[in-house]
């Protein structure tokens, strides 16, 4: 695949830190030309988000800005705004995650920009949403995990709320932005006009918590934390083997019957306390300690071999170094060396005609492409 699937698409990104830059990185990996507009003094704050890794910039910056071009513009000046409009004349998509209200204060809000560039797809990512009493409130990943309920459903039963280890809200917002932009791009093919895509960290958090929200709305019951477990299946959680944890998922009674056999307790299948999943849910405080005691008696490798042989879904609870050693992970070639560099990054989780999009270049230096893009905008 010499050209990406979005080759010929031009994206202008006014992105800071994560959600905006992640959307831009998706476009870049898919082959679009992505022009990252940064402030002249220091650029994207993510350049300083951690120790210097390569070229003076933090590793996080390289992660979310590979494959882009960098242009510096002072958007607080009329000249900078006009230079941005010159870029937008030839752009298909503009995206930003500026602090709420900033784009409007600079005169580059959705109404002004789409009036001047009617074919442009304008994507705005906020913190709390584009409507409502909190629409101008800024926010970051952990704040929206907390506000949107995700922290309350994560962690050990009876324990404190826990932040998810991955930036699921920021990166999810970037993903929805890309999907929204591509949807409007398809509409533009039919109608010739662009439009505005709005999404936010809060909306993403609410969707990720959607099953729990729907449960409360429709049953009135508060969600309990289940650590590695599941509210509707038993057993469906991690157990400690002799040398490390292993996750076992018995998603139906047939799988439980096989599991009970491997544990040496085929009689559980006819035990009225454990025979059916609903009975196991009621009696899990009795059943789970019995399973845990047996699992501790053999190594993780032994359990994996035995359970996989009988078709019981299971997996080791891997640390990151163990993940990278997994033959299946290596076969997927998700970790790619950046061309011309001595480091690697994680690629996109999709393939086209059997081929994964490649990371095409490192993150740009601040203002590296000023002259090239200025000439293209003439």
DSSP 266: G
In Å, the largest CA–CA distance within the chain is: 79
For 66, the 3-state DSSP assignment is: coil
Residue 14 bridge partners (DSSP): 96
DSSP-derived secondary structure for 181-224? HHHHHHHHHHHS--EEEEEEHHHHHHHHTHHHHHHHHHH-PPPP
Count, residues in the chain: 378
Q: How far is CA 139 from CA 37, 175, 200, 243, 348, in A?
A: 21, 18, 10, 41, 26
Q: Are 200 and 128 in contact (CB under 8 A)?
A: yes
Q: For residues 298 and 53, what is the distance between their CA atoms, to the nearest angstrom? A: 43
Residue 26, exposed/middle/buried by CB under 10 A (0-12, 13-18, 19+)?
buried
- Element spanning 240, H or E: strand 236-240
Pick the catalytic residue from 29, 57, 92, 170.
170
DSSP 8-class letter at 75: T
342 carries an active-site annotation: no
Q: Which residues carry out catalysis?
A: 170
């Amino acid at each position: 695949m010499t050209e990406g699937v979005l080759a010929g698409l031009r994206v202008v990104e006014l992105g800071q830190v994560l959600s905006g830059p992640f959307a831009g990185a998706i476009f870049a990996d898919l082959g679009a030309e992505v022009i990252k507009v940064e402030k002249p003094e220091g650029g994207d704050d993510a350049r300083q988000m951690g120790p210097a890794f390569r070229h003076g910039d933090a590793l996080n910056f390289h992660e979310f800005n590979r494959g882009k071009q960098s242009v510096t513009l002072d958007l607080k000046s009329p000249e900078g705004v006009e230079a941005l409009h010159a870029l937008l004349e030839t752009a298909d998509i503009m995206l930003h995650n500026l602090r709420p209200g900033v784009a409007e204060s600079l005169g580059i809000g959705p109404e002004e920009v789409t009036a001047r560039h009617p074919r442009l797809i304008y994507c705005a990512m906020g913190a709390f949403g584009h409507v409502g009493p909190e629409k101008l409130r800024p926010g970051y990943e952990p704040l929206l995990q907390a506000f949107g309920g995700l922290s309350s459903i994560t962690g050990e039963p009876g324990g404190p709320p826990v932040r998810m280890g991955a930036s699921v809200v920021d990166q999810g917002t970037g993903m929805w932005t890309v999907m929204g932009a591509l949807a409007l791009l398809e509409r533009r093919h039919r109608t010739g006009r662009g439009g505005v895509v709005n999404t936010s960290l809060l909306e993403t958090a609410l969707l990720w918590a959607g099953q729990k929200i729907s449960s409360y709305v429709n049953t009135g019951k508060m969600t309990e934390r289940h650590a590695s477990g599941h509210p509707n299946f038993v057993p469906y959680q991690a157990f400690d083997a002799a040398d490390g944890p292993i996750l076992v998922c018995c998603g139906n009674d047939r799988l439980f019957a096989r599991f009970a056999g491997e544990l040496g307790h085929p009689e559980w299948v006819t035990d009225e306390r454990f025979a059916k999943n609903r009975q196991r849910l009621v009696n899990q405080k009795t059943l789970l300690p019995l399973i845990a005691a047996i699992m501790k008696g053999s190594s993780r490798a032994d359990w994996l071999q035995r359970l996989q042989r009988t078709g019981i879904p299971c997996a080791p609870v891997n640390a990151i170094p163990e993940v990278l050693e997994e033959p299946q992970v290596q076969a997927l070639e998700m970790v790619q060396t950046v061309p011309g560099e001595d480091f690697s990054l994680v690629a996109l989780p999709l393939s086209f005609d059997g081929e994964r999009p490649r990371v095409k270049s490192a993150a740009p230096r601040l203002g590296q492409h000023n002259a090239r893009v200025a000439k293209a905008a003439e």
